[in-house]
Homo-oligomer: A and B are copies of this chain.
Amino acid sequence: MLNNYIRPGDNPDLTKERKTCSFDAEELTRFLCGSAEKVERKREIIRIVAADANFADRIPLDFLAREERIDVQARKCKYLMEKMNDLVTDEDEFIDLANEVFGTDGFPLILHLAVFIPVLQSQAESDLVSEYLPRSMSTQVIGAYAQTEMGHGSNLRELETTATFDRATDEFVINTPTRSATKWWPGNMGKMANHAIVTAQLHIDGKNHGPHNFLVQLRNYDDHMPMRGITVGDIGPKMAINTLDNGFLALDHVRIPRRQMLMKHAKVATNGTYTPPIHSKLNYGSMVFVRAHMIFTQARNLCSAVTIATRYSAVRRQGKIDKSSPEVQVLDYQTQQYRIFPQISRAFAYLFTGLEVKQLYKNAMRGLDEGETDLLPDLHALTSGLKSIVSYNAGLAVEQCRMACGEHGYSDASGLPKLYGLVIAGCTYEGENMVMLQQTARYLMKAVQWAEEGKKLSYSIEFMGKKARGRSTIGMHKGDMERENEAIMESIEHMARRLAVDASNQYKKRITGGDSEERAWNGVTVAMNRASRVYSRLFIIRSFHRRVLSSPHSLREVLTNLFSLYLHYESVDMAHHLLHDGHCSGEQIDYLKSKLNEELIKLRPNAVSLVDSFDQSDRLLNSVLGRRDGNVYDALYEWAKSSELNYTEVLPSFNAHIKGIMEADRAKM
């Protein structure tokens, strides 16, 4: 048996699917996870969580009001913090554990752990770190990172909060001068945090030195009530992630000692002398890290969505292909395959890209330790573009998965509406996508220039220096898949070059026409963003391809199938640009489409086993439709019985209101 997910009592349709698996699903799990040991350790964590009554839910959390749900997660959070050291041995394991326990709700102290502490460590001077890091690790101090304001998200230079140096007392006065200056959105800030790192304009003697970070206590240690001058609270319900207390914060001339400015890079002396940071790009690193990490997280969430949609589509029987036969599994319909299988290939593509980018990040950081900053601009441009492509397309992909589940995909029972809300948020946080794509485009414009000048090109833009081939060779090596795929990738490189050069020319034309640089740029951003998207998609394709080439021999066939599917799907999706300059002919695009259909058919018997290989527990999936055992209808019924509206046969509100109009009318009759 190549797929060991089969158990007695499973839905026979799923068992049938698992028996048609042509590869070793367990080996694929190991390849995705890194090693057999990591798989084993992850499964141990799953077992521990499943066995511990403190992590169990009496009824599905979907039925709780927001505050009740926060309460349940806070209780688990407390338990987890107390037992953590017994349960896990490193950070990766902690992430697995937190995912398993909290699912899409996320770890309740996530911003404290993942943002507040790292920023404190990397930006504060050592004595402040010594004082606050131990308290933060032990959660006496719970911190938020208060950067975004109601009126400013993307343009940090115009933040309105002020930190004015008072030489007389050696303090900063932190103030919220307008309503729109209210800090808005920081996670953990509404109700959890008792401290925040607050970004504010540093004013000394009437001069503004721009935004800097300051450590401010928000609530006292004793009763957690807000400190004097602090107005703090929750910003209300959102599209998803509602157990997180994204908060607001207004500061009314709050005084903090000078040393609570985070002064590792920029400094203010007692006499008010300001020393700027040596390197303005020092913050690149952490932004790049967060975005590199995001790609991986988005990929993991997409894995959940495709697991749910694929398993359910194998179990769901609806309609007939041959009229004389019984109803078919909906996974047999071409439209359903076209809907779901490309999303499976996307999940793999994004996972592999996430791994590659993490590696690039490590290389860049190693370089930085040796004073080498050359890798950073490439990585910054790349992660900005990838963040944008992956977040939006993962969102669209989750929605395709959700709609592929028909009407039940619309129910919270499927787990998919929450998953969509979680994934699509990635288009906005950590850099709004349109802004991100423009950052990538600015780098691409330099690349066009460098390529013209024959300069050495960094990793992600090497293709800009390749020789143009007038016509695509797609379809000229039929039967040799590797060469065919290379021909497609070369065509995509051609297209990526052409779009970048084209955007550059449009820009130059406007400059020549008398536009200022800024106006010219704003007149061509749509073309710029188009170029950035294709550049990013090319990188994902290349990453996927490299990973397939380095895969174990036994997985090569199934991963090649997945990669070809991805490559053909992406090419057809970008056919407009391939056709535009005559590089590809309509016949070549038709050929890609027919090959794409063949790849769908080839993938069909492995579909369920491929998603099984993501090895996600039922608890993590949190979906009636995506259950490993495929027994969805009974589970759906059980789930619905917990609906808060079913506590009573007759709703109190029915008796209070609707019954009145019924009786009134009966009297009339």
Contacts and interface: CB of A to CB of B under 8 A. Distances in A.
Interface of A: 62-63, 65-67, 70-71, 74-75, 77-78, 81-82, 134-135, 138-140, 142, 148, 150-155, 158, 179-180, 182, 184-185, 190-192, 221, 223-226, 233-239, 245, 248, 317-323, 327, 332-336, 338-339, 399, 403, 406-407, 409-413, 417, 421, 424-425, 427-429, 432-434, 438, 516, 518-519, 522-527, 529, 575-576, 579-582, 586, 589, 593, 597, 633-634, 636-637, 639-646, 649-662, 664-666, 668-669
Nearest to A248: B640
Contacts of A82: 661, 664
A650 B518 contact: no
A191 B66 contact: no
Given A403-B428, A645-B191, A657-B78, A333 B67 contact: no
A319 B434 CA distance: 13
B179 A633 contact: yes
B185 A407 contact: yes
A456 to B, nearest CB: 31
Contact of A645 (B233, B576, B597): B233
B526 A335 contact: yes
Contacts of A410: 238-239, 425, 428
18 contacts: A62-B236, A65-B65, A70-B653, A77-B658, A78-B657, A138-B666, A152-B318, A179-B634, A180-B633, A191-B654, A223-B650, A233-B640, A235-B411, A236-B412, A323-B518, A334-B525, A403-B427, A527-B593
A409 B237 CA distance: 12
A322 B239 CA distance: 35
A639 B339 CA distance: 39
Nearest to A82: B661
Nearest to A641: B233
A523 B235 CA distance: 51
Given A235-B640, A413-B236, A633-B179, A334 B522 contact: yes
B421 A417 contact: yes
A483 to B, nearest CB: 25
A497 to B, nearest CB: 15
Contacts of A597: 523, 526
Ranked 4 nearest A-B pairs via Cβ: A138-B665, A234-B645, A71-B653, A239-B417
